[in-house]
Amino acid sequence: MESLNFVEKKVIRVGAEAVIKEAFWKNHRIIVKHRVPKRYREESIDLRVRKSRTIHEAKMLIHLSENGIPVPLVYFIDPVECVIYMQYIEGLELRNHPGAVERAKRLGNIVGEMHGLDVCHGDLTLANIIADENQGVWVVDFGLSGFNADLEEKAIDVHLLERSAASTFPTQTKKFFENFLKSYSETTGRDAAKEVLEKVKEIRSRGRYVAR
């Protein structure tokens, strides 16, 4: 990788599991996502988790790009250091975007299409959605995503998104979610959307004193 001559620049975000840097390759601005070791985790668990998520995320990004879903293009992968080099998306995270409620419409289409491919995101929060300057919406951070997603996993995406909105801007959650659901069900079809929503309700009522 060193021979490819990257000019690493500044750290732009320290996420929960990765350090995100901006870098240049032949004057082209790119994102470098490095899953850094976590000292709290025992070494073998740590390496297994980081490596599998890096490889998996790259595979998923490529798959989604090929299917026309707006995600960053993958340029290079370094599975030893757990690094992905990818397209830089210009924009603001949806949680910081003043027009989040409006963009929920576009987001509903994108998540609907993704679920149509039986892909679930696995961490669908407002920090992992980027709104650009041209009314576009992009999705990032696919380390926890899944191929062959079942109904439950799709419902978890919708559940996570709503909860993320509720904890970010409680007063606008309702409108945000209405906008999202309208275009989501337009994309997936009414029946499929209804099934997912039923499952979301079930998930919400679960989670405590579940006897084994």
Partner 1 sequence: MVTVLGIESTAHTFGVGIVNSQGKILANVMKIYKPSVGGIHPREASQHHAAKAAEAVAEAFQTAGIKPSDIDAVAFSQGPGMGPCLRTGATVARTLSLALRKPLIGVNHGVAHIEIGKLVTNCGDPVVLYVAGGNTMVVALVEKKYRILGETLDIAAGNCLDAFGISAGIGPMPAAEIYAKQGSKIYDIPYRVNGMDVSFSGLLTASEKLLKSGVPLGDVCLSLTETVYSMLTEVTERALAMTAKSSLLLVGGLARSKRLCEMLNTMCVDRGASLHVVPDQYAGDNGAMIAWTGLLMYGCKQFINVDESFVKPRMRVDEVEVCWSP
Phi, psi of 20 (to 5 degrees): -105, 120
The token duo for 74 is 């993958």
16 binds ligand ADP (CB under 6 A): yes
For ligand ADP (CB under 6 A), the number of binding residues is: 20
* Complex with partner 1: residue 27 or 205, whichever CB lies closer: 205
Which burial class, exposed, middle or buried, applies to 54 when counting CB atoms under 10 A from its CB (0-12, 13-18, 19+)?
buried
Would the CA dihedral through 194, 195, 197, 201 be positive or negative? positive
From 23, 49, 74, 127, residue interacting with ligand ADP (rule: CB under 6 A): 127
Instruction: Round to whole Å and give the CA distance between 135 and 142.
Output: 22
CA distance 8 to 25: 9
In whole angstroms, how close is the CB of 160 to partner 1 at the nearest point?
5
Q: Does the annotation count 191 as an active-site position?
A: no
Question: Alpha helices, DSSP H only, in the chain?
Answer: 43-66, 100-116, 151-168, 173-188, 190-205
Among candidate residues 78, 118, 123, 132, the one labeled active-site is 123
Of positions 108, 115, 119, 128, contacts Mg ion by CB under 5 A: 128
Which pair of structure tokens corresponds to residue 137? 């919406």
Compare residues 15 and 116 and give the one whose CB is closer to Mg ion: 15
CA 87-74-66 angle, to 5 degrees, is 110
Sites for ligand ADP among residues 59-98 (CB under 6 A): 72, 86-89, 93
Closest CB to ligand ADP among 86 and 196?
86
Segment 146-175, which members bind Mg ion (CB under 5 A)? Answer: none
65: helix, coil or strand?
helix
Task: Quote the tokens at residue 130.
Answer: 């980027």
Question: Is 33 or 159 the residue whose CB approaches ligand ADP more closely?
Answer: 33
> CB under 5 to 8 A by kind: which of partner 1, ligand ADP, Mg ion, none does 89 bind?
ligand ADP
Residue ranges binding ligand ADP (CB under 6 A): 13, 15-18, 20, 31, 33, 72, 86-89, 93, 127-128, 130, 140-141, 143
Active-site residue list: 123
